[in-house]
Amino acid sequence: MRLYNTQARAKQEFTPREEGKVSMYVCGITAYDLCHVGHARSAVVFDVLVRFLRRKGLDVTFVRNFTDVDDKIIKRAGEMGLTSQDVAERYIREFHVDMDRLGVLRADVEPKCTEHIPEMLELTQELIRSGQAYTTLSGDVYFRVRSFPGYGKLSGRNIDDLRSGARIQPGEEKEDPLDFALWKAAKPGEPSWESPWGPGRPGWHLECSAMSEKYLPLPLDIHGGGQDLIFPHHENEIAQSEAATGRELARFWVHNGFVQINSEKMSKSLGNFFTIRDILDKFLPETLRYFLLSSHYRSPLDFSFEGLEEAEKALRRVYTARRQMAEELGKAKWSASPVPPELAKELAELEAGFGEALEDDLNTAAALGHLFGVVRLAGRLSDDKTLRKSEGARDLWTRILKDMEGWSAVLGVFGADPGDFLAALRDCRAARKGIDAAEVAARLEARRQARVAKDFAASDRIRDELAGLGVEVKDTPAGQTWDVA
């Protein structure tokens, strides 16, 4: 597999440090609010990466942390009249609710910052002993950025250029404007822990260094997160971890692109965001997950409700194809004839293409293109009156459904029962248009009874009334069905 390594600025062949095992650390949320679509993208991207590596037979240990003490959490606690711990615990629970709905697997280890203060103190003390960190009269501890020769190697930033625009703010006791906090002295009313330098709390960058090293051997095989973390967060992680341990922090740095609205990054600070809950009030969770996978993970993803509606159409195509194939396979009689060999060859090429796309820097967009190629192939078999009755078609459909089962396990989409999903999708679309699914069901039952009584005028009248509401009714051998027109 080839992965784009941010530090190398190139795709590189990924091989684990230890054969058969992968260590992966991804920066999680700061738990002070509900997650937005940008958080969902990062979670889904790394969920698919973990699923794919495991599908390849690798033993993946996945660690994703929670920052549960931070300026934003403290501020939110003041606004809500709660403790910082209460706020963090609330939004960690809400994170799990959202991610469970999106089909994001739990990480193997989900450490919290406040549970690892001793490891952070130890790391800070080591940096002070080596002269790469220093204390201030106020009880803050700073890392000496200029003491680490490799600073800037991840982000590509030049330390002299950074310094030219940096200033020491009034009241700060830094030696250099570029130095960053490892430990922050306690302020009145803020949560704090005892330390050799007085009560305080850890700096954000320090948390991930301590927690990743606690659970995974260095160097990590993969360290991941959003592009916004490259600088300064991940750059500072590298500096403090490698300065303290003398070992490389991570072999591969993997970063997902931003979700954008009108070409601007979606973020709480800009106020241009939709929470996951906002979206799931109107769309199925699988629709959002599919939408997030429809672009390459490193590319910017332009969010729009039109894009979500297109995702719905794509999902409906796949689930409809799955249902049709299952129906065809339920038929008892097959002619003992093969299909043209080029169809089997086409399927083999599409199967290979799906895997090759994921092997090439987790290109889910290209993989989905191959999947839809398979859907079109299945449809061509069904449309051909001769081929669809052949044993060759039966064997290809069986193989396609088996493929989709495996691909679904990797992508986390297309795995539901087709009938259940299509009904849920229909009801979701109906709700957005103000159509009450329960009312439609009641009207259809009245129509069924009218047809049983051979009152076809009443049957037609109900059908026309539903059409006026935007409901399309179809009569099938299995009974009435309906959809949003």
* Residues 97-148 pLDDT 10s: 999 999 999 999 999 999 999 999 999 999 999 999 999 999 999 999 999 9
pLDDT of 211: 97
Give the model's pLDDT for residue 291.
98
What tens digit of pLDDT does each residue of 388-411 get? 999 999 999 999 999 999 999 999
Fold of 304-418: Four Helix Bundle (Hemerythrin (Met), subunit A) (1.20.120)
- pLDDT (tens digit per residue) in 225-255: 999 999 999 999 999 999 999 999 999 999 9
Is pLDDT above 80 for 38?
Answer: yes
Q: What is the pLDDT of residue 171?
A: 66
pLDDT at 161 over 80: yes
**Cβ-defined contacts of 275-280 (< 8 Å, 24+):** 275/34, 275/35, 275/36, 275/37, 276/34, 276/35, 276/36, 276/37, 276/39, 276/40, 276/98, 276/101, 276/102, 277/34, 277/98, 279/37, 279/308, 280/98, 280/101
pLDDT at 221: 98
- What is the pairing mode between strands 59-64 and 21-26? parallel
| Residue 437 backbone dihedrals phi, psi, to 5 degrees | -60, -35
Question: Mean pLDDT throughout 24-51?
Answer: 97
| Least confident interval from 72-81, 166-175, 192-201, 354-363 | 166-175
How confident is the model over 260-292, as pLDDT tens digits? 987 777 776 677 789 999 999 999 999 999 999
Look-up: residue for tokens 């680490």? 148
Q: What are the extents of the domains in the chain?
A: 2-280, 304-418, 433-484
pTM, rounded to two decimals: 0.94
| Matching fold, domains 2-280 and 304-418 | no
| pLDDT on residue 405 | 97
Percent of the chain whose predicted confidence (pLDDT) is above 70: 98
Q: Which two tokens stand for residue 98?
A: 């959202």
Question: Going by CATH, does the domain composed of 2-280 fall within 3.40.50.300?
Answer: no
Average pLDDT, the chain: 95
What is the mean pLDDT of the segment spanning 406-424? 97
- The pLDDT value recorded for residue 272 is 75
Looking at residue 67, what is its pLDDT? 98
- The helix (run of H) or strand (run of E) holding residue 368 is helix 364-383
pLDDT in tens, 189-234: 999 999 999 999 999 999 999 999 999 999 999 999 999 999 999 9
Question: Above 90 in pLDDT, residue 333?
Answer: no
At residue 157, φ and ψ (nearest 5 deg) are -90, 145
pLDDT of 164 strictly over 80 = no
Q: Where are the alpha helices (DSSP H) in 102-228?
A: 117-129, 159-164, 204-215
Q: What is the pLDDT of residues 50-70, one digit of tens each?
A: 999 999 999 999 999 999 999
Residue 122: predicted pLDDT: 98
Tell me the one-letter amino acid at 138: S
Dist CA 285 CA 291 (whole Å): 10
Torsion angles phi and psi, residue 163, rounded to 5: -70, -30
State the Rg of the chain over Cα. 28
Of the candidates 290, 324, 299, the one whose C-alpha atom is nearest the C-alpha of residue 411 is: 290
Q: Two tokens at 41?
A: 């993208």
State the average pLDDT over residues 312-323: 98
Q: Which amino acid is at 8?
A: A
Q: Around Cβ 434, how many Cβ atoms within 10 Å?
A: 8
The tokens of 72 are what? 């934003």
% the chain with pLDDT above 90: 91
Query: What does the pLDDT look like over 6-23, one tens digit per residue?
Result: 999 999 999 999 999 999
